[in-house]
Structure 1
């Protein structure tokens, strides 16, 4: 296989009340937990058009995940058939509801990430 490796630089971080993996909900979209996505200043123009009430997919890295995991749930499932953060490339997606946009800060509801998790992209959900 040809080497197609590349770097992904975070565009910001997410602020949440969760300090330990055991504290995080299983699915953020099902939770009312509030948090904040804080982007680096140079990405502020990319927030144009986002308003309160919008949904946004936050792509983030589970930087403490076990990257060697290929089976989960006591070996019952392959990791690619789950939303487990433990995977070869721990890129995670959480759909959040935007509460407010203030400069480089998005106040959101529905977080399920650890505090200070790196954010790598924001995307409008498929419609």
Structure 2
């Protein structure tokens, strides 16, 4: 299996534990910078929402039970601490600069510098 980051997200949170549990419940702002090789992928983007798929690179990958509720396994949560820390955050788009590959987002819950592995249109 191979997966390469397409960009980086910059947020006010040094760690995921400082971030809100789910970005949708907070108005925290962040900036997503796409690597130049992937900027063409923004062509035609005109939405006000986007789903950011990101890698919690500093997460504890040994966690299988929730520390706040040991009767629940990690797969029943959205916690970034998990064997494969793939995380998904639906964000509001405040602005987009397709030429620069930069999106200003609201509702971020990632740690600063987290690698972004994909962007998707929202389900709605």
TM-score (norm 1): 0.90
What is the count of residue pairs matched by the alignment? Answer: 121
- Once the 2 structures are TM-superposed, how far is the Cα of residue 107 of structure 1 from its aligned partner? 0.6
Aligned CA-pair RMSD: 1.2
Contact 2:16–2:109 at 8 Å: present in 1 too? Answer: no
Question: Please, which runs of 5 or more residues in structure 2 have no aligned partner?
Answer: none
What corresponds to 2:92 in structure 1? 97
Residue 119 of structure 1 corresponds to 116
Gap runs ≥5 in structure 1: 1-5
- Where does 1:11-50 land on structure 2 (aligned, <5 Å)? 11-50=6-45
Residue deviations 1:16-64 (CA, integer Å, cap 9, x gap): 011133321111011111101100011111112223x521010001011
Alignment of 1:71-90 (within 5 A): 71-72=65-66, 73-90=68-85
Segments ≥4 residues shifted beyond 2 Å: none
